[in-house]
Amino acid sequence: MLRQFLYLDSPSRFPSILLSLAVLWDRFLRRSPGKMASHIVGYPRMGPKRELKFALESFWDGKSTADDLQKVATDLRHSIWKQMADAGIKYIPSNTFSYYDQMLDTTAMLGAVPERYNFTSGEIGFDIYFSMARGNASVSAMEMTKWFDTNYHFIVPELGPNTKFSYSSHKPVTEYKEAKALGIETVPVLIGPVTYLLLSKPAKGVEKSFSPLSLLGSILPIYKEVIAELKAAGASWIQFDEPTLVMDLESHQLEAFTKAYTELESSLSGLNVLVETYFADVPPETYKTVTALKSISGFGFDLVRGTKTLDLVKSAGFPAGKYLFAGVVDGRNIWANDLASSINTLETLEAIVGKDKLVVSTSCSLMHTAVDLVNETKLDSEIISWLAFAAQKVVEVNALAKALAGQKDEAFFSANAAAQASRKSSPRVTNEEVQKAAADLKSSDHRRATNVSARLDAQQKKLNLPILPTTTIGSFPQTMDLRRVRREYKANKISEEEYVKAIKEEISKVVKLQEELDIDVLVHGEPERNDMVEYFGEQLSGFAFTVNGWVQSYGSRCVKPPIIYGDVSRPKAMTVFWSKMAQSMTSRPMKGMLTGPVTILNWSFVRNDQPRFETCYQIALAIKKEVEDLEAAGIQVIQIDEAALREGLPLRKSEQAFYLDWAVHSFRITNCGVQDTTQIHTHMCYSNFNDIIHSIINMDADVITIENSRSDEKLLSVFREGVKYGAGIGPGVYDIHSPRIPSTEEIADRINKMLAVLETNILWVNPDCGLKTRKYAEVKPALTNMVAAAKLLRTQLASTK
């Protein structure tokens, strides 16, 4: 089996390390091992070839039925459970599958549907569920934001004092029973009640001071109903995901955990209960409080990102008779586990908690990594030997559990050690010239010589833009024909000449459309780009790319993160050809479109053999060269997207200043050398930016466009509170992740709210984000209304002078 997976039809063609891994992995997958103390926090839902994505989009487009969608989902769930059972995993999760998002699933379970969706009672179906996620023609979607410090987005619950809760989705029980019917015992996974409330927000019309945590007593009865049904169905374990336990909690928030699990204690009697944490260390005071809870049987800790957890357990001890689920296999990256190092960690823990109370686990859900290396056909053999996707991580977990139980496969461990050594010594990893250039960056803060106010004056003289200038964020709809052209070019089915001709025609169409709509600053639409990170990574050294390494970002949207395995540099210009072509088609300013270094870093699978900031500085130097080439080619407006800057912010406050310092510095490096008349834009989306607004100002961009409408203009509150922003700013005026088309009046109302807190001369008008995922039938009327709203406000402002 693994011979096919690693393409070892001729073993002599490949390194002995890789062949050893192939044979040994095959052995692991073929036999039916006994169930060792092994656990998986969660697993990717989309399928190895994005089967769920295509089923969802077909259903949303009316091309298939609900039964068709459910059939695909059922097949995926069964395949995942069987895979883990065959690999020997003892604690297999259920209810980690979702049609859209696990937080939205919990909202459905609790019946906490906002009033605008007109839900009354009963079981929540696809119509209400997907309306909450995506909106519809008449109702806006719920807010979407990042899941902690990942690139996964969740649907934010909207709660108020009058929210009515009812048990409205039996999904956790249904899926547990479904697995049991296959002969597979699973651990049902629920978002814990406290995490659910801490990640919620006050509903529309509710005072912002309202605390959703005050509703704890209202949702616990629903949890009790779910627990009772799971017990009746035969469940012996339940997993509560409480990742907010790794954050800096106030005393009343920490007390809520004690209250919740004390109140649930009688309901949980007779069950084993796992409280799972991930993404960081659990603070000492939180650790002390949570491990004292009597109703909890086991605690899951992230020992990969939680670098202080092992020392905490050693110093504080661990409660006798409780299970420790040790997350030693990284659920957020794709590097093969260093088995020898993990065994050392596990043996240290075993001496503290006892042999029969230690469970080998993943650091978090594997949904944040790619699905299966078996689907990779283009990665070379050396790099493949360094990697483990979700399917391979399941095998690693079981291998570690077996070793801990005295059944260590020496050959498997030896092959792993050889692969680790190969990666450390490979000459393709290190470029001394790049490392020296990055090290030299620390001697300067790389600020532009002139302040932003003077730069904006110089730029306005050159660009001559109206007040409330309109623009879009970068991408335009990616049609099936466009995707086909790129696919055929990559497969050498069409010539370079044919490809350039097709892309040029698409750019011309996008430019003409924007001119017809009377947009002020244009974009070329990015028809040549598959993804805003992958496109650049493909042209930088030190990157590798997968064929099917897809990871869910939100809903049906998947990304294929590049793999940064070595030092990064730019061999040649990446975007200049297309930007010059687009600018030649219009007299209006054409934005050069780049992805910033922090976003490329945070949206890639990053090497783990050097600090992240060192890799980021290397990327910044590469983007700096591109910025300077664009300026030399006559591009007057250059956008350097940093959509993921906030996403990388550490969860603990004590670690945030250091991150923000090097992240902001990396952005400034990219554009510190341009002329005052070159306007530098950046873009950010779908995160809470209010708490880092001073770092955003410190980026020193001339203009920032930023998501605003889907989050109910939360961004504007920071300006109402007195923060002064002197650069150009374009808070998004409509949500591009919903098919809904906003009216001119609605957009004008949003602009007026912005004008109440921002100066007229710095305000830009733009959508929340890029238009890649939308259809032209939605984009044209929405942009028409956006431009009309800007013109309406210009007229009104002119009449008041």
The residues annotated as belonging to the active site are: 737
Q: What is the CA radius of gyration of the chain?
A: 26
Task: Say if residue 386 carries a ligand binding annotation.
Answer: no
* Residue 735 · residue 135 · CB < 8 Å: yes
Token duo for residue 248:
């800096």
Task: Say if residue 414 carries a ligand binding annotation.
Answer: no
Beta-carbon contacts of residue 42 (< 8 Å; ≥ 6 apart): 93, 96, 189, 331, 364, 365, 366, 367
- Planar angle of CA 188, 192, 195, nearest 5 degrees: 150
At 410, which amino acid appears? Answer: E
Strands 591-595, 563-569: parallel, antiparallel or unpaired by DSSP?
unpaired
DSSP output for 340-366: HHHHHHHHHHHHHH-GGGEEEEESS-G
Could you tell me how far CA 385 lies from the centroid of its own chain? 26
Q: How far apart, in whole angstroms, are the C-alpha atoms of residue 632 and residue 629?
A: 5
Q: How far apart, in whole angstroms, are the C-alpha atoms of residue 418 and residue 681?
A: 46
Short-list 164, 169, 167, 165, CA closest to 225: 167
The dihedral over CA atoms of 127, 129, 134, 136, expressed in degrees to the nearest 10, equals: 30
Beta-carbon contacts of residue 254 (< 8 Å; ≥ 6 apart): 285, 286, 289
Task: Say if residue 641 carries a ligand binding annotation.
Answer: yes
Q: Where are the alpha helices (DSSP H) in 557-604?
A: 576-583, 597-602
Q: Where are the alpha helices (DSSP H) in 111-158?
A: 126-134
Q: How far apart, in whole angstroms, are the C-alpha atoms of residue 89 and residue 328?
A: 15
- Planar angle of CA 765, 767, 772, nearest 5 degrees: 145
Which of 194-233 are b and which e, b meaning 16 or more Cβ less than 10 Å from the residue's Cβ? bbbbbbbbbbeebeeeebbbebbebbbebbbbbbebbbee
DSSP output for 661-690: HHHHHHHHHHHTTS-TTSEEEEEE-SS--G
Token duo for residue 614:
């060192």
Q: How far apart, in whole angstroms, are the C-alpha atoms of residue 411 and residue 391?
A: 20
Q: Exposed, middle or buried: residue 11 (CB in 10 Å: 0-12, 13-18, 19+)?
A: middle
Task: Say if residue 673 carries a ligand binding annotation.
Answer: no
Q: How far apart, in whole angstroms, are the C-alpha atoms of residue 748 and residue 730?
A: 14
Q: How far apart, in whole angstroms, are the C-alpha atoms of residue 616 and residue 331?
A: 22
Token duo for residue 716:
């504007």
Instruction: Kindly report the length of the chain.
Output: 801
The region that residue 670 occupies, defined by phi over 0 for left and psi between -120 and 50 for alpha, beta otherwise, is alpha
Q: How far apart, in whole angstroms, are the C-alpha atoms of residue 196 and residue 244?
A: 9
Residue 740's CB: how many other CB atoms inside 10 A? 18
Q: Exposed, middle or buried: residue 326 (CB in 10 Å: 0-12, 13-18, 19+)?
A: buried
Task: Say if residue 252 carries a ligand binding annotation.
Answer: no
Angle subtended by helix axes 216-233 and 171-181, to nearest 10: 20
Short-list 163, 175, 299, CA closest to 229: 175
Task: Say if residue 78 carries a ligand binding annotation.
Answer: no
Helix (H) or strand (E) holding 568: strand 563-569
Task: Say if residue 683 carries a ligand binding annotation.
Answer: yes
Token duo for residue 381:
């053999």
Task: Say if residue 603 carries a ligand binding annotation.
Answer: yes
> 146: which strand partners?
153
* Residue 193 · residue 244 · CB < 8 Å: no
Task: Say if residue 242 carries a ligand binding annotation.
Answer: no
Task: Say if residue 473 carries a ligand binding annotation.
Answer: yes
Task: Say if residue 516 carries a ligand binding annotation.
Answer: no
Helix, strand or coil, per DSSP, at residue 622:
helix
Task: Say if residue 542 carries a ligand binding annotation.
Answer: no
* Residue 344 · residue 20 · CB < 8 Å: no
Task: Say if residue 526 carries a ligand binding annotation.
Answer: yes
Annotated binding site: 53, 151, 473-475, 526, 557-558, 603, 641, 683, 685, 694, 707, 769
Annotated binding site for Zn(2+): 683, 685, 694, 707, 769
Annotated binding site for 5-methyltetrahydropteroyltri-L-glutamate: 53, 151, 557-558, 603
Annotated binding site for L-homocysteine: 473-475, 641
